[in-house]
Each structure stands twice: as C-alpha cells, then as structure tokens.
C-alpha cells in the first residue's frame, strides 16, 4: 500500500514538473529560432491560402525566413524594451506584407489578411496590456 502511495505521489510530481516546464517555455515565438518561426509561418500560409503554387511557396519561404531572422535579431537587440520591440516588429510586418503583395494573388492575400485579422481579434486586437 505504501509503495502504491509513493508511486502515485511520484507520478503527480512528474506531471506537475512537466506542466511547469511547458509553461516556462513561453507562448508563441519567444523561444523559437528563425527557422522554426519561418516554418510555422510557411505552414500557416499553406493552410490559409488556397492555390499556392510551388513557386509561390518557395518565394514565401525565403521572405518568411528573412523576416523571422529580423524578428529574432530585434528580440535580442531590444530585450526588455517592449516598445522598441513592438515598433521594430511592426516595421518587419509591414515589409513582409509588401513582399507578400508581390507574390500572392489578390484572393490569396485577402485570405491571409482575413486570417490575420481574425487571429488578432481573438488575441484582444493584438494589443498587449500594460500591467
């Protein structure tokens, strides 16, 4: 009976530890490499935008990797300065969208912007609250 109790306690402790590790990992892109961020963005575009050709996907992949590298660099450079990071990321996002316009059709671009707007709305408009 004591062994069963000890096993149950150890399982509960293991579960609590694993959960705490997942929470520490942060949300979103905070601890991801540029390659991981770009892959995530590529996958999202493929899911959201219908009819992307192989050529478009290749071009978008290059854009996404370049922009992800800029985001990671910005995160490292502006660590602790949320305003500077937000401003830099807005510029990166504007440049990404300008490049997307040259690659995607109007319908695909609308699918992308609609999805982004919907996701931002689900996140409280994309604005962070100052606590």
pLDDT in tens, 67-125: 999 999 988 888 888 899 889 989 999 999 999 999 999 999 999 999 999 988 876 54
In a domain, 6, yes or no: no
* Mean pLDDT confidence for 10-15: 62
Q: Using CA atoms, how far apart are residues 112 and 100, in angstroms rounded to an integer? A: 9
In a domain, 111, yes or no: yes
In a domain, 18, yes or no: no
Provide the residue range defining the domain that includes 77. Answer: 29-122
In a domain, 1, yes or no: no
In a domain, 115, yes or no: yes
- For 32, phi and psi rounded to 5 degrees? -95, 150
In a domain, 131, yes or no: no
The structure tokens listed for 109 are 């671009």
pLDDT in tens, 22-73: 444 445 556 889 999 999 999 999 999 999 999 999 999 999 999 999 999 9
Structural domains of the chain, count: 1
| Per-residue pLDDT at 122 | 79
Spell 31-43 as b/e; 16+ CB within 10 A means b.
Answer: ebebeebbbebbe
């Amino acid at each position: 009976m004591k062994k069963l109790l000890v096993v149950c306690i150890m399982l509960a402790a293991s579960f609590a530890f694993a959960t705490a590790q997942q929470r520490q990992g942060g949300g979103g892109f905070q601890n991801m490499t540029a390659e991981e961020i770009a892959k995530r963005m590529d996958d999202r575009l493929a899911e959201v935008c219908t009819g992307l050709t192989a050529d478009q996907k290749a071009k978008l992949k290059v854009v996404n990797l370049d922009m992800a590298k800029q985001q990671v660099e910005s995160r490292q450079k502006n660590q602790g300065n949320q305003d500077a990071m937000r401003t830099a990321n807005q510029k990166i996002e504007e440049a990404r969208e300008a490049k997307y316009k040259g690659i995607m059709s109007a319908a695909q671009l609308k699918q992308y912007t609609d999805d982004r707007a919907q996701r931002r709305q689900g996140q409280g408009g994309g604005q962070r609250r100052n606590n």
